[in-house]
Amino acid sequence: MEEISEEKAAQMARFIDVFVNTNLSLQEVLSLYKPEEIISQFKPEDVIPQFKPKDVISQFKQEDILSSLDKKQLNQLKRRINMM
């Protein structure tokens, strides 16, 4: 289990307190926070499945995608391209 810093725990407690103890809608509660504060509460594997692969990939430069691949993956990609 991942250890949570005191600051992160305080942010989470504040979020829960605001949400539970008010009559605000979820949208109103979320508007109180920066997107970075909200998204930082989740792991990539919790967020990425909510999007289509093309929407995720489109956020990266081609160079970044290619540089993240190892030699075996690059060779597989090359073979697939040559088959087209």
User: Same structural domain for residues 37 and 13?
Assistant: yes
User: Same structural domain for residues 61 and 83?
Assistant: yes
pTM for this predicted structure: 0.44
Domain count along the chain: 2
For residue 29, the number of C-alpha atoms closer than 13 Å in the C-beta half-sphere is 16
DSSP-based three-state secondary structure for 59:
coil
pLDDT score for 1: 59
User: Same structural domain for residues 1 and 17?
Assistant: yes
User: Same structural domain for residues 57 and 26?
Assistant: no
Output b/e per residue, 3-35; b: 16+ Cβ within 10 A: eeeeeeeebeeebeeeeeeeeeeeeebeeebee
Structural domain boundaries enclosing 76: 49-84
User: Same structural domain for residues 5 and 37?
Assistant: yes
User: Same structural domain for residues 60 and 83?
Assistant: yes
Please write the tens of the pLDDT for every residue from 21-80. Answer: 777 788 887 888 899 988 888 998 988 999 999 999 999 999 999 999 999 999 999 999
pLDDT score for 10: 86
User: Same structural domain for residues 56 and 24?
Assistant: no
Residue 78 amino acid letter: K
